[in-house]
Amino acid sequence: MARLTFVALAAAMALAMVSLPTSPLAAATNDVAFASPEQLAARDAAFDPLNDPDIEIIDDVEDTDFDDLPGFDDDDDDDDVVAEAVTGLTNVTRRTHPHRKHRHAKHPAHKHKKHSHRHSRTKLHVSAAPDVGAKLLGKDYKVTWYSAHDLLNPACGAGKWQPSKRSHVGAVGSSSPLKCGDFIQLCSKKGCVKVRIVDACAGCSQRTHVDLSKAAFLQLATGGLDQGEVHGVHSFDLGNKISPWAINLFGGKLASQGQHPY
């Protein structure tokens, strides 16, 4: 009789243990493990670098001495175009092809104004070599450059941020695996620069083609803007978060973060 009582008691205890509620930690773990693609996409879309405790935000930084870059200010209307866009005065026509080799009239008697910029003591997003541990995407990327009206209303920004020629941003074609908000590090024989994908490039038919802002392109081109294209560029995947994060170079939260520009 005692044995039967013991067996019954053991069975009751086992049943109680099975029916115990799942702990909050276990529930949270299960939610993460079995999240649907839609849930993961929603979490990615909600990512806001300004509210991420793991990201150091810097409002204004420049890793480049633009006065030493030949041709950087040849298109004097670049800054005016961006200023007009911010005040809503410009009608935008989307670009249909990347920029090629540019020629500008030479004016020996004309000298560009020197600009005063804040410079970082240590280069944050420009380097001589790729970051340690960066994932190699390919060794045969091609980069071109774009400016002026082509910078306006980037496909990934919903008009909330207007990059300038001094920003470190890029545009990709429909065949590219890169998405809105992705950071890549591009390296040529000249050096490396970190770039954020913020726009679509209809003329970039190759998956390894990235159209860059002037500042980013000039970090890779030994011949300045007139070089037009740089081939054999190594590309590295940095994910969608970097720290420190320079707002003036990369912008903030993107409306279509995690989605392809097209």
Residue with more model confidence, 234 or 61: 234
By the 8 A CB rule, do 73 and 104 touch? no
Beta-bridge partners for 144: 211
Inter-residue contact 225 to 35 (CB < 8 Å) = no
Q: What is the pLDDT of residues 13-55, one digit of tens each?
A: 555 544 444 444 444 334 444 556 565 555 555 678 888 899 9
- pLDDT given at position 95: 47
DSSP 148: G
Residue 119: predicted pLDDT: 43
Instruction: Say how many Å lie between the first and final Cα of the chain, rounded.
Output: 75
How many residues in the chain?
262
Contacts of 47 (CB under 8 A, 6+ apart): 181, 240, 241, 253, 257, 258
- The strand ranges marked E within the chain are 57-58, 126-127, 135-145, 169-172, 183-187, 192-200, 209-212, 230-237, 245-246
pLDDT tens digits, 147-194: 989 999 999 987 778 899 999 999 999 999 999 999 999 999 999 999
In whole numbers, what is the pLDDT of the chain averaged over residues? 74
> Closest Cα to residue 172, out of 143, 138, 133?
143
DSSP string for residues in 45-90: HT--GGG-TT--EES------GGGSTTTTSSTTHHHHHHHHHTT--
**Model's pTM, two decimal places?**
0.68
% of the chain with per-residue pLDDT over 70? 58
Mean pLDDT across 43-72: 70
* Predicted confidence (pLDDT) at residue 137 exceeds the cutoff of 60: yes
pLDDT tens digits, 73-88: 655 555 544 444 444 4
